[in-house]
Amino acid sequence: MTSLAQGLERNGGTALCPGSYDPVTFGHLDIIGRAASVFDQVIVGVVDQPVRKQKTVFTADERVAFIEPEVAELGNVQVKTFGTLLVDFAREHGARAIVKGLRAISDFEYEFEMNQLNRKLAPDIESIYLMATPQFSFLSSSGIKELAMFGGDTSGLAPDAVAEALQERLQK
């Protein structure tokens, strides 16, 4: 991963990077890598059954299997599934921060609402938002799935294993 934040020192603690990751994109991996350069430990929390998405293309175990090799070189990142409240999962793992990426105003609106709910439930867990790197600001899992469904080229948007699996799964 070449997009790790330059010049930042880890500031201790554990952060949680939650998401459905259906599928993981280079935008997700950029945010995870940047969080890993700031926190001592990062847990990538893969939501088992996302609430705001109908059915996932890949199982939680498949999504974990796509992410693990991509973050292995970071050394301080673990990938785990969860099916509980986000703040409960964070507390269970001693995370003091939830780190998420923001691409556009629509992301902000949703994340603002979720932040307020999480803050009410767990005022001791801080939400931190990283702006998407410009090259990934357009990138979304749903966009990649749509491209794959219609035979579009998804290379350069997600790891090769993900792009290949999407082609196989969605073009049937």
50-104 residue pLDDT tens: 776 678 999 999 999 999 999 999 999 999 999 999 999 999 999 999 999 998 8
What CATH code is carried by the domain that includes residue 61? 3.40.50.620
pTM of the model as a whole: 0.89
What's the number of CA atoms in the CB half-sphere (13 Å) around residue 48? Answer: 8
**Closest to 92 (Cα-Cα) out of 66, 50, 125:** 125
The structural domain count of the chain equals 1
Residue 164 within any structural domain of the chain:
no
Residue 116 within any structural domain of the chain:
yes
Q: What is the pLDDT of residue 59?
A: 94
Q: What is the pLDDT of residue 109?
A: 84
Confidence of residue 9 (pLDDT cuts 50, 70, 90): low
Model confidence at 8: pLDDT above 90: no
Distance (Å, whole) CA 147 – CA 4: 27
Residue 170 within any structural domain of the chain:
no
Residue 117 within any structural domain of the chain:
yes
Angle between helix axes 60-71 and 26-36 (nearest 10 degrees) is 60
Residue 7 within any structural domain of the chain:
no
Residue 153 within any structural domain of the chain:
no
Give the Cα-Cα-Cα angle 104, 144, 83 (nearest 5 degrees): 80
Structural domain span for residue 44? 14-134
Residue 158 within any structural domain of the chain:
no
Residue 165 within any structural domain of the chain:
no
